[in-house]
Structure 1
């Protein structure tokens, strides 16, 4: 009887489904890409101003990608993988 109980406890399911993990990886990729696009633009000499820190990529695109990535992460957590689409 004890052996049967051990088999039942070792057969555990994951909290999230395969679909959830796919969306989590997509969201994580968006966040990482946003931070990569945000980086750089510094100057080696602190007395010289480099206007490239105000580029469209660093001010608009990168933060938008990070926010979209966080939105995808929230969606991936709330997604019910067992729910079938309505036919």
Structure 2
């Protein structure tokens, strides 16, 4: 039988580095904030229309935060972990 070569690194543990997980947590927090800002604005009475759903916060700010959060998540996953 042939012996296995030592070229294969044996890595145990997580797929990403500690910094990657911290960046992913920040991105997740930004996404949650975006969804919180988007919530609300409805009317209690279904027969009454509420103009509050068209506020700057819900139409512009929250979707921008969501896109930034998802983009940051992609960056956090793709960032090469530092070798210790």
Aligned to 2:61: 61
Query: Over aligned residue pairs, what C-alpha RMSD do you find?
Result: 1.8
The alpha carbon displacement at 1:79 in A equals: 0.3
Moved beyond 4 Å, runs of 4+: none
> In structure 1, how many angstroms separate the alpha carbons of the residues matched to 2:73 and 2:47?
41
The alpha carbon displacement at 1:45 in A equals: 0.6
Higher share in helix: 1
The alpha carbon displacement at 1:81 in A equals: 1.4
Aligned ranges 1:9-20 → 2 under 5 Å: 12-20=12-20
User: Deviation string for 1:21-78 (max 9, x for gaps)?
Assistant: 0110010000000000000001111110110000000000000000000000000010
**Structure 2: gaps (5+ residues):** 1-9
Aligned to 1:35: 35
SS of 1:24 mapped into structure 2: helix
Aligned length: 75
Q: Verify: 1:73 aligned to 2:73, yes or no.
A: yes
Task: Output the TM-score relative to the length of structure 1.
Answer: 0.80
